[in-house]
Amino acid sequence: MKEYFKNTWDGLYTAFVGMKITFQHLFVPSVTIQYPSVKPPLPERARNRLYVNMADCIGCLQCARACPVNCIEIETVKAVPGDEVGNTSQGKKKALWVTKFDIDFAKCCYCQLCVFPCPTECIKMTEVYEFSEYNREDLIYNFTTLNLDEIREKEEKYEKFQAEKEAQKLAAAKAKAEAAAKAKAEKEAAEKAVAETKTEETQKPEESKPAEDEKENGDSAEKE
């Protein structure tokens, strides 16, 4: 009997403890927020939709590498000599054209891991959390500032620059090979000339020896 009352008391006590917060708000008048005209305040470190300031983006791919769900796609093209890519707000000179910077918010888990490794702080979380769409493809945001014609122009210019650079390398290699072949031929010719000269010098004493013998024989005959 004693155990029965004890169990009953424990059940009632735990129920009262669990309903403590409910009882506190039971007699407080409720306030309804007139959403969406009135929006609730966001916490200080709320994580919502991302924004990319392309003026500061240098195309380093740090954010794409940090993304755990691969929702960031970045493509870049190297600037050729003469291109003015510009500088970031921190004064860092940019060397790449960012031809593609897409974020698929249907995949994004809003972890903010892409924000911290950015060296120029161009990607950040915003306070925008209302951006639902009927079509999933509309959740792919394109942040690049270049249009299709400009992207094609940058790619063609870089390909042309690479082709010219490769042609110069081939021409330099060919000229180097020709110079090496010419030097080798001149060296072989010089060695051959030296060898012929040595051969002639060794043959001269042998040719002059019979002439000296004939002269000695003639002198001895005159004496007799």
The predicted structure's pLDDT at residue 84: 87
Whole-model pTM: value is 0.65
Q: What is the pLDDT of residues 117-170, one digit of tens each?
A: 999 999 999 999 999 999 999 999 999 999 999 999 999 999 998 898 888 888
What average pLDDT is seen over the chain? 85
The share of the chain scoring above pLDDT 90, in percent, equals 43
The predicted structure's pLDDT at residue 197: 76
Residue 184 structure tokens = 């080798």
The predicted structure's pLDDT at residue 5: 80
Task: Determine the average pLDDT of the residues in 171-183.
Answer: 87
Beta carbons of 54 and 144 less than 8 angstroms apart: yes
Least confident of 11-25, 40-54, 93-107: 11-25
Residue count of the chain, please give it.
Answer: 224
- Name the fold adopted by 50-146: Alpha-Beta Plaits (3.30.70)
Where does 83-155 show beta strands of DSSP type E? Answer: 96-104, 123-125, 140-142
Q: Compute the distance between CA of residue 118 and CA of residue 216 in angstroms, rounded to an integer.
A: 103
Of 201 and 172, the one with more pLDDT? 172
Of 210 and 161, the one with more pLDDT? 161
Of 204 and 88, the one with more pLDDT? 88
| Cα three-residue angle 144-148-152, rounded to 5 degrees | 110
Q: Compute the distance between CA of residue 111 and CA of residue 50 in angstroms, rounded to an integer.
A: 11
The predicted structure's pLDDT at residue 206: 54
Q: Compute the distance between CA of residue 97 and CA of residue 147 in angstroms, rounded to an integer.
A: 12
Would you place residue 36 in the very low, low, confident or very high pLDDT band (cuts 50, 70, 90)?
confident
Would you place residue 26 in the very low, low, confident or very high pLDDT band (cuts 50, 70, 90)?
confident
The predicted structure's pLDDT at residue 77: 94
